[in-house]
Amino acid sequence: MTGLIQVLGVAFGILLILVGILESFFFRDQRLHRLFLIRPEDTDAVRMWTFNLGFYNMIWGAGAIVGAVLLAGPEPAAGRTLLLFTCLGHVLLGIILVLSERRLWASAIAEALLPAVIAAMLLV
């Protein structure tokens, strides 16, 4: 079971890093405006928050990967704690996202579902 948790944790981390890269460096791409709910004329206004939000996601992603890797090390409790914190944080962030903007319900599910599965596996 630990192996599966590790694979899912690394996949979750990679997804967060990829989303962070999109948010930080590609938010001006009009193909992503629908995802971010922004208009082309608003890219300068949202530059600061998208850039920072992207780096937040990349750091969360690194935490998930480190936690997953540590699960197989000499101190698996450290990895379990870090991965569980990262996953539960994103479950909560998914809930907050849908409560703050109902149109982002699909993004909220994408943000919360995999980490909820990982968290459940860690807690069983």
8 Å CB contact between 12 and 87:
yes
Taking the CB of residue 24, how many other CB atoms lie within 10 A of it? 18
Q: What is the pLDDT of residues 36-52, one digit of tens each?
A: 778 888 888 888 888 99
> Does the structure show a pLDDT above 80 at 103?
yes
Mean pLDDT of 45-69: 94
Residue 27, pLDDT score: 81
Strand locations in the chain (E): none
Sorting pLDDT into bands at 50, 70 and 90, what band is 64?
very high
